[in-house]
């Protein structure tokens, strides 16, 4: 029995119409999939009907995973932190909120009514693909989950938006409708139109989420610590959904740049557009898996895209990548990423040491001194592949005190990773790329946590973990993204979910 399916978003215009289609088959038992709420058999039902919401969100989630697997070249075999590693719960309507979230065990969607209009976040393929994007990035890079850097968290949000774009572009009818309008505002580069309209009606036009996020944008990268903690939709702020638009802009512009490389005038063919999107999608997914996490993570991912392009395409798109990032004020200088900058006090690395990710004790001691690793702080050492090159990644896990931001955070720390890459160069063991700036982690972490405080995203007591109450007359069930964990004798700020 066919289902009714919205291929993009309930409020998008100019795209393919709502269609009747056969439901996608269930995921094989050997790979990662979803568990579902009780539901009626497949049928065609109107927007808002519980049966429609189930089949719509299910098909959108499966489409996002299939788009990711098609580009990554491998199957998703398990989720990063689900209690049952092969199953992620899909909940089409979990109550009243203008939101959707991924929490490691589930992707959940909500409804909210303003006047006579109800917004169902699970009815939007954009929103479902975005939340699945969090889960897909998490299974590839679980180390990014607890990051206290603005750019890492913003990249998580940007990756969700990029997965919404990639899911849309994977649909042939969508490509046909959008290929003549790629360089102007269109229904693909704008995401979550219906949900943002719900935010505008309920919370006002100045709310940061009151307009769709646009991948076609001119936002310029700036140090997150120099930006306001929040702002209206047309202002770039340090809030991670807002700041994510810088990277999403780079991604969309790269698609346009690759299309331009393919030549021809006028609108690209369906096949040419598909080819450009697949080229860029593959680079993004590989770079997301390999880029070392630094405070400047957008640059790290961009540089890794260049190295991945060298390995996959012989460097055919190096200039296109650099130009896309430069357009948003991110200078890549990708050659510097693996350039030697300092020799360590150790004998040259052997191939066997590179393969296993081992470093001589003398090199470890030297690194701890150069990175200023304090007693009690960890230095994690592991093998790392980047752009087809094997190196060793040494990451200092710095503890940043948060008490100066808010008295409720007295005695609480955030963990900030500071990595360096180490490789064999001529007759030396050398640091590659550079060494993190002393004290830089504190500024970056404080800027990020300030945005959490302003948005009321931290649960300061056990009751708040179940939901943060809204202001008078606001019945949304808003859940925190962060909680304070007691880990031994230390209190640490930890993430519990990514929310829209």
Each residue's pLDDT tens digit, 377-398: 889 999 999 988 889 999 999 8
Taking residues 275-286, report their average pLDDT: 98
Same domain, 122 and 265: yes
Q: Which of 300, 319, 335 is at the close of a domain?
A: 335
Predicted local distance difference test score (pLDDT) of residue 440: 78
Task: Please say which residue of 335, 363, 378 terminates a domain.
Answer: 335
pLDDT digits (tens, 9 = 90+) for 115-129: 889 999 999 999 999
Give pLDDT tens digits for 133-160. Answer: 999 999 999 999 999 999 999 999 999 9
Of 335, 358, 377, the last residue of a domain is 335
Q: Are residues 202 and 321 in the same domain?
A: yes
Give 256's pLDDT tier (boundaries 50, 70, 90): very high
Asked whether residue 247 falls in the same domain as residue 134, the answer is yes
Residues 493 and 354 in one domain: no
Q: Are residues 346 and 305 in the same domain?
A: no
DSSP assignment string, 390-422 = EEEEEEEEEEEE-TTT-GGGTTEEEEEEEEEEE
Same domain, 306 and 320: yes
Please tell me whether residues 304 and 363 are part of one structural domain: no
CA distance 494 to 458: 9
> 273 and 162 share a domain?
yes
181 C-beta neighbours (distance < 10 Å), count: 15
pLDDT the model gives residue 314: 97
In this structure, are 111 and 195 located in the same domain?
Answer: yes
Query: Mean pLDDT of all residues in the chain?
Result: 93
Determine the average pLDDT of the residues in 32-52.
93
Question: In which domain, by residue range, is 493 found?
Answer: 452-499
Q: Are strands 87-91 and 106-109 parallel, antiparallel or unpaired?
A: parallel
Question: What confidence score (pLDDT) does residue 250 get?
Answer: 98
Q: Are residues 128 and 265 in the same domain?
A: yes
Residue 12 sits in the same domain as residue 117: yes
Rounded to whole angstroms, how far apart are CA atoms 203 and 110? 16
**How does DSSP classify residue 11?**
T
Number of domains observed in the structure of the chain: 3
CATH of the domain at 298: 1.10.390.10
Check: CB of residue 279 under 8 Å from CB of residue 317.
yes
Strand pairing report for 33-36 and 87-91? parallel
Looking at residue 478, what DSSP letter applies?
B
| pLDDT tens column, 174-196 | 999 999 999 999 999 999 999 99
* DSSP structure class, residue 468: B
Do 425 and 487 have their domain in common? no
Compute CA distances 202 → 109, 207, 476, whole Å.
17, 10, 10
Summarised one tens digit per residue, pLDDT across range 329-362 is 999 987 778 888 888 887 777 777 777 788 888 8
Mean pLDDT is lowest, of 71-75, 230-234, 434-438, for: 434-438
């Amino acid at each position: 029995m066919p289902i009714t399916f919205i291929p993009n978003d309930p409020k998008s215009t100019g795209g393919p119409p709502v269609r009747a289609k056969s439901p996608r088959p269930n995921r094989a038992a050997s790979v990662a999939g979803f568990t579902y709420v009780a539901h009626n058999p497949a049928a065609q039902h109107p927007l808002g009907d519980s049966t429609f919401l189930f089949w719509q969100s299910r098909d959108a989630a499966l489409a996002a995973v299939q788009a990711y697997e098609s580009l990554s070249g491998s199957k998703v075999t398990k989720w990063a932190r689900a209690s049952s590693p092969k199953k992620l719960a899909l909940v089409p309507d979990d109550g009243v909120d203008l939101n959707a979230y991924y929490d490691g065990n589930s992707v959940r969607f909500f409804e909210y009514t303003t006047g006579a209009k109800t917004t169902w976040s699970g009815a939007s393929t954009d929103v479902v693909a975005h939340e699945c994007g969090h889960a897909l990035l998490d299974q590839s890079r679980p180390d990014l989950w607890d990051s206290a850097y603005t750019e890492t968290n913003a990249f998580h949000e940007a990756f969700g938006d990029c997965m919404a774009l990639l899911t849309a572009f994977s649909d042939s009818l969508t490509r046909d409708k959008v290929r003549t309008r790629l360089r102007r505002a269109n229904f693909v580069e704008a995401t979550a139109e219906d949900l943002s309209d719900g935010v505008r009606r309920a919370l006002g036009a100045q709310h940061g989420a009151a307009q769709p996020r646009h991948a076609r944008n001119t936002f310029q990268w700036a140090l997150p610590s120099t930006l306001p903690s929040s702002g209206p939709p047309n202002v770039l702020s340090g809030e991670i959904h807002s700041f994510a638009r810088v990277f999403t802009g780079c991604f969309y512009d790269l698609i346009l740049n690759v299309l331009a490389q393919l030549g021809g005038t006028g609108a690209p063919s369906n096949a040419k557009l598909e080819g450009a999107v697949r080229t860029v999608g593959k680079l993004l997914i590989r770079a997301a898996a390999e880029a070392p996490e630094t405070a400047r993570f957008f640059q790290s991912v961009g540089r890794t895209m260049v190295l991945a392009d060298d390995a996959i395409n012989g460097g055919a798109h190096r200039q296109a990548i650099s130009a896309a990032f430069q357009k948003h004020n991110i200078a890549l200088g990708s050659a510097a990423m693996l350039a030697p900058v300092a020799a360590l006090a150790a004998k040259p690395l052997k191939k066997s040491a590179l393969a296993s990710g081992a470093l001589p004790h003398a090199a470890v001691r030297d690194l701890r001194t150069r990175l200023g690793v304090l007693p009690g702080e960890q230095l994690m050492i592991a093998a790392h592949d980047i752009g087809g090159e094997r190196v060793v990644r040494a990451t200092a896990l710095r503890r940043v005190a948060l008490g100066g931001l808010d008295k409720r955070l007295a005695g609480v720390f955030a963990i900030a990773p500071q990595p360096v890459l180490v490789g064999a160069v001529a007759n030396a063991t050398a640091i590659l790329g550079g060494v993190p700036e002393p004290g830089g982690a504190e500024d970056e972490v404080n800027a990020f946590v300030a945005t959490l405080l302003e948005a009321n995203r931290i649960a300061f007591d056990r009751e708040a973990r179940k939901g943060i109450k809204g202001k008078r007359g606001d019945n949304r069930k808003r859940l925190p993204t962060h909680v304070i964990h007691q880990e031994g004798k230390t209190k640490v700020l930890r993430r519990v979910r990514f929310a829209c």
